[in-house]
Amino acid sequence: VHFVRLVRPLESHADARHAARAYRCACRQQQRDAMADALFEADDLSAESCQRLADELGLDMDRYRACVADPGTDEETEHSTRWLEDSGIDGLPVIWIQEQRLLGAQTTASFNAALARAKRNRSGG
């Protein structure tokens, strides 16, 4: 299993850019999963709230603030957004199980069915 988390801020979400920056900057300090969890649980994703989350996670705050202010951080997000758009992906999450693409939230049954198909395909059945 290979898990990749891509960042694509939704234009309709006022604080999505702040959350994207917070996530990218946490990644640079090896706190990607912890920040992702914190962002998903947070009710407030303002710049101040994201900074508070970074501090609570123990990030080096000088590095965090420099990262958030760096235009390259937004450029990374724009790059992944363009890749998703160019790939025809118009929603998240997207999950691939071999050649099967599952778009949006999935049930356990849909995962199990996709895994079973992948297993059959791999064994030639």
The pLDDT, as a whole number, for residue 23 is 97
| Model pLDDT for residues 59-93, shown as the tens digit of each residue | 999 999 999 999 999 999 999 999 888 988 877 78
The pLDDT, as a whole number, for residue 63 is 98
* DSSP string covering 27-57: HTTT-HHHHHHHHHH-S--SHHHHHHHHHHT
E strands present in the chain:
94-97, 100-103
CB atoms within 10 A of CB 25: 25
Please report the sign of the dihedral spanned by the C-alpha atoms of residue 54, residue 59, residue 60, residue 66.
negative
| Model pLDDT for residues 38-58, shown as the tens digit of each residue | 999 999 999 999 999 999 999
What gap in Å lies between CA 50 and CA 92, rounded to an integer?
21
